[in-house]
Structure 1
Amino acid sequence: MSSAAFCIRNDRGDLMYAAARTLNDTTNICAEAIAIGDGIEYCVTHQFLPVIMETDSLALLNIIRQIWSIPWNIRMEIRRIQYWSNKGQVQFAHILREGNALADCLANCVLKFAGNQIEVLSQFAHHCSSSNIK
């Protein structure tokens, strides 16, 4: 079983929203692509624009930027990312793995405790990010 998670922070770095969900068995790059697609879709539909989408997957970033060809198993997710990116002001950036700790933690939590999906609203997310996850 796999999972995907994303976090939304404002321009000051405050956590505004986070969500995670379980997936069928899949690859790491596919789970990361699903998480990016979910995050961009949420930001665009809720008018959190402009967006700087950060990922610790340089391989996926190169695929999204069309530097590398799209593997067949993530073609639909990459098209979804492109669709939502074209609807809003979205930039992509590479970050170190440590910068993705909260999303990684949420993805693991949904597998262990929460069932199919979890949503974290800003009040709870603020508590989690400030006291438990660095």
Structure 2
Amino acid sequence: MGNPGIGSNGFCIRDEIGDLVYAQAEEIGHVTNNEAEICAIVQAVRCCNSKNLNNIIIQTGSQLIQKILEEEWKPPWNIAVWVDEIRELVGHIQISYTHILREGNKLADALANHVTDNGRVDNIINPTAGPDDYHQSSRIEEKISQD
């Protein structure tokens, strides 16, 4: 692995009480850790837009990315295009960015690691989803809570 190295990313969407609603992870090729983090946020914001979600809180394990998205710092050249895309996508929704410690980001990290070994994770978790849609991300989340 290393930085840069072969990367993957993951994100999860939770409702207002913290229940898991959606989870996705994918391999993204040869990237830096900052590229993987910003790419996950792009995917999450695209997903939120496609589901017409508003009042979004983006939690990132990277304080650098948080400061860039809050426009306190300028983005490095290698992530500037993704930052611009995020700013365009969130133009019409309420959004805030927070930095969280690694412990708070366990599910997204586990999804990213899981996809490296098992392929893409793309599960909608809702009452009409099939049992396989729910159980893959739920099993990962249960395993994480046991660790």
- TM-score of the superposition, structure 1-length normalised? 0.91
CA distance in 2, matches of 1:87, 1:5: 24
CA distance in 2, matches of 1:81, 1:68: 15
- The residue that corresponds to 1:31 in the other structure is 36
- The residue that corresponds to 1:3 in the other structure is 8
CA distance in 2, matches of 1:45, 1:113: 26
Runs in 1 of length 4+ with deviation above 4 angstroms?
Answer: none
- The residue that corresponds to 1:98 in the other structure is 103
CA distance in 1, matches of 2:138, 2:56: 20
- TM-score of the superposition, structure 2-length normalised? 0.84
The answer to whether the aligner puts 1:60 opposite 2:71 as a matched pair is no
Q: 1:80 aligns with which of 81, 85, 91?
A: 85
- The residue that corresponds to 2:128 in the other structure is none
SS at match of 2:37: helix
The answer to whether the aligner puts 1:128 opposite 2:140 as a matched pair is yes
CA distance in 1, matches of 2:107, 2:8: 14
RMSD: 1.2
What 5-or-longer segments of structure 2 have no aligned partner? 1-5, 126-133
> What per-residue deviation string (whole Å, max 9, x for no partner) do you get for residues 99-129 of structure 1?
1000000001111111xx2212322234432
Paired-residue identity, %:
34
Counterpart residue identity of residue 128, structure 1:
I
Give 1:50 deviation, angstroms.
Answer: 1.4
What 5-or-longer segments of structure 1 have no aligned partner? none
